[in-house]
Amino acid sequence: MTGSVVLIHLAGAVALMLYATRLVKTGVERAYGDVLRHKLRATLQNPIMAVLAGTGLAIALQSSTAVTLLVGSFAGAGIVSGLAGQLAVRGAEIGSALVAKLLTYDLTLLVPLCLIIGTFLFMATESRDWRQKGRILVGVGLLILSLEMIGQASEPLRESPLMPMIINYFSGDPITAYLLAALITWLFQSSIASVLLMATMAGRGLITPELGVVLVLGVNLGSSIIAPMLTRNSEPGVRIVPVGNLLMRGMGSIVMLVLVMTFKPQIGFLGATASDQIVNAHILFNVIILIAGLPLAGLVYRASEKIVALGAKQAAEPVQVTELSALSETALSSPPQALANATREVVRVCETVEIMLKRIIELYENADEDKINALAALDDRVDERHAAIKIYLAKLIRNPLTEDQALRCQELIGACVKLEQVGDIIVRNMLVHVRKKMALNLEFTPEGWQEITAFHSAVLANARLTFNVLVSRDTETARQLVQEKDRLRDMEREASNSHFLRLRDGTLKSIETSSIHLDTLRDLKQINSLLTSIVYPVLEERGLLRGSRLRAS
């Protein structure tokens, strides 16, 4: 087998591992994301529980970076303290390392079982929850299979005369090896994938344990860079936790590299095999960073604040940019171009409405007048753009249009009207609930809040799909949205029934928040109905809609 063929097989196996990791991560987020976020918010106030919550969440999501971004967003919204967020991320690194350890065991029997059961669950039901569970099982099966493929693909490399030379070079130049591992991890966007790749190759005798330890330190540097890079344009509060992780974990890996290069410690105690030694070195490093991070958490947090504040100060005077409109008057003589311009402008309205819908639930937990006024200002922007789009399309209709062009005009006008109505519900109804909750200092029960956040997450996910259909006009997604409307109606009924049961039991918080709870569910249900109706023209055009119901296919 030629070297190029070996590399193609190895690259394919690595690609499958990255895809499988993402499959598991997205499946867990869709099936259990709301519950995990709710539990995380509730436990981050206690330092020990913050570490344990971060560990558990990283195991579930198969990604410490995902936990870092999630906790960073909580800290930026004021839901948790930045200090608690730092501790949760420390726990997440431990959880990520434990996942890598688990996947080094012989789990080959799980491959066919996971693929069979996962595929059956995904294809045999239309239930969203069961389909996501199937997705998770298929992802786990493919992940284990990819590790076997990496081992088989790398086997011919043992016979290559170049491998000893490459290994000797990197063993003699640990700094280059360290930086290369950091680069690979940043490209993979996953420390788990990088550690598993190195452990598998070490198990085949392609990497020495001593070099593997250096590579593991590089993996931790690369992993700590990912979140700060992804949040570099976010608000300062969101960036503090990722920057703190970079300071602690990134700087810790550099210190450890210097110590390893200076003292050249024996690593036989880390395990009986080379692959065990590499994975255990990864776990040990993150345990050391956790132990060191507990007393240093306050110092690291203050340093992170100063670094973020310094970057914010340098960007405090941005170049003033005039907001441009896509509604060019000169394009009105060309209906296709004018419709494209109007579509672009409607998409901008969609983006604003999505921001409003995302922020309103955050205000239920942590509201102040500045945030409330900022959200109300977004509704003013929606109203202005809505008026401009209607006037623009009214002018376009005066020109000769084909039937399809005239229908598209009506579709865009209808979408704008519904988007404005969604903005009005958020500002005139839901913001009123926020003010009442804030003024009376009310709190939902844990069960009630979980019901509201789960319902909100489903509506937000449907909103994003709706905005995609507005551009893509994809029939299958439009059908899915109409089916989701029925599911959310049932979901709202179940949540209301659960609330009434708590009222019957005399739960004080349920009694105090009853009207806010029920009105919020009703408002979210109405928002979902308005957004779903935006996709009706796509289904009507193909004869797939009868009234507001799907025709049998």
The answer to whether the CB of 412 falls within 8 A of the CB of 471 is: no
Q: Are 269 and 226 in contact (CB under 8 A)?
A: no
Alpha-carbon dihedral 31, 35, 40, 42, rounded to 10 degrees: 180
Instruction: Please answer whether residues 77 and 366 qualify as being in contact, where contact means their C-beta atoms are separated by less than 8 angstroms.
Output: yes
User: Residue 495: pLDDT above 70?
Assistant: yes
Closest CA to 495 of 434, 447, 443: 447
pTM over 0.85: no
- Using CA atoms, how far apart are residues 550 and 553, in angstroms rounded to an integer? 8
Print the SS3 string covering 176-238: HHHHHHHHHHHHHCCHHHHHHHHHHHHHCCCCCHHHHHHHHHHHHHHHHHHHHHHCCCCCHHH
Which residue in 218, 346, 376 sits closest to 282, CA to CA?
A: 218
* Closest among 129, 116, 46 to 88, alpha carbons compared: 46
The CA angle 29-30-31, to the nearest 5 degrees, is 95
> Among the listed ranges 255-264, 318-327, 334-343, which one has the minimum average pLDDT value?
318-327
**Rounded-to-integer distance, Cα 191 and Cα 256, Å:** 17
325 and 345 Cβ atoms separated by less than 8 Å: yes
Q: Domains (ranges, CATH) in the chain?
A: 3-314 (no CATH), 336-550 (1.20.58.220)
- Least-confidence region, from 10-14, 40-44, 152-156, 477-481: 40-44
Q: What is the pLDDT of residue 127?
A: 76
Reference 147, options 191, 98, 195; nearest CA is: 195
Residue 112 — very low, low, confident or very high, per pLDDT cuts 50/70/90? Answer: very high
Amino acid identity of 400? P
With cut-offs at 50, 70 and 90, classify the pLDDT of residue 305.
confident
For the stretch 174-198, pLDDT in tens is: 999 999 999 999 988 888 888 988 9
Task: For residue 344, give the DSSP letter.
Answer: H
Tokens 């239920």 sit on residue: 364
Instruction: Give me the amino acid identity at 213.
Output: V
The SS3 call for residue 298 is: helix
pLDDT tens per residue across span 430-479: 999 999 888 888 888 888 888 888 889 889 888 988 998 888 888 888 88
Instruction: Express each pLDDT in 247-290 by its tens digit.
Output: 999 999 999 999 999 998 988 899 989 999 999 999 999 999 99
Q: Phi and psi (nearest 5°) for 516?
A: -65, -45
Spatial separation of the C-alpha atoms in residues 180 and 217, rounded to whole Å: 11
Q: What is the pLDDT of residue 181?
A: 93
Q: Which residue has the higher pLDDT, 2 or 228?
A: 228
Strand-strand pairing, 549-550 and 545-546: antiparallel
Distances in Å between the Cα of 324 and the Cα atoms of 354, 403, 549 are 20, 30, 39
Average pLDDT, the chain: 85
pLDDT for 287 = 94
